[in-house]
Amino acid sequence: MPGKKDKERALKIFKLLGQEYPDVKSALEYRSPFQLLIATILSAQCTDKRVNIVTKTLFLKYPKPIDFVNAGYPEIEKEIFSTGFYKQKAKSIKNCCAILVEKYKSRVPSDFEMLITLPGVGRKTASVVSGNAFDIPAIAVDTHVKRLSNLLGLVNTNDPEKIELLLKELLPEELWTNSSHWLATHGRNICSARNPKCGLCIISNLCPSKKII
């Protein structure tokens, strides 16, 4: 369990990140919970930029869950090929949409526990959808969140679920959803894995992993 000082330090870090990136939002482009769900499934092992290129035409062709259900696997696979792991993703999307149609009247459930029962949906995807589509506080742990959380000494594990739960203990609920965006944005802009720009980092004084420039 994190102590008072741990929580105070975490709050300082995320307040500074919030000042640096005041208008953060999901890098995935979407117009509905359904679109965000599909985009997040596609984002596994793929850049958000590539997913946005693919979904621009994908959602025109398949605007509703039933459209994916009625489509053949080869057709879906061709559309999402460039996102990688296209066979497994096509299977997940098609099965997920079948459940949405049969069980939820083609609507994406807002409840986290219901979301994680859908094919192709793990805690990260459920957190992205809950936090961004339904404004329900959630922390999505992607590669940036995992890497920066460890570098900052907020956690000491590579287990995404443990990281999620530890960050939730450190931060107040109102910061949960944006905390993922702040870490991901900072990871892309400043704290890259290959070339961290510690000299430009707004939180370098709070980072035990900073490089002395």
CA pair distance 171, 180, nearest whole angstrom: 12
CA pair distance 179, 138, nearest whole angstrom: 9
Task: Report CA 131 to chain centroid distance, whole Å.
Answer: 9
Give alpha helix (H) positions in the chain: 4-20, 33-42, 48-61, 65-70, 73-80, 86-104, 112-115, 123-133, 143-151, 160-170, 173-189
Is 124 catalytic? The answer is yes
- Annotate 42-93 with DSSP letters as a single string: HTTTS-HHHHHHHHHHHHHH--SHHHHHHS-HHHHHHHHGGGS-HHHHHHHH
User: One of 89, 94, 124, 146 is an active-site residue; which one?
Assistant: 124
Is 56 catalytic? The answer is no
User: One of 94, 142, 146, 168 is an active-site residue; which one?
Assistant: 142
Q: Active-site residues: which are they? A: 124, 142
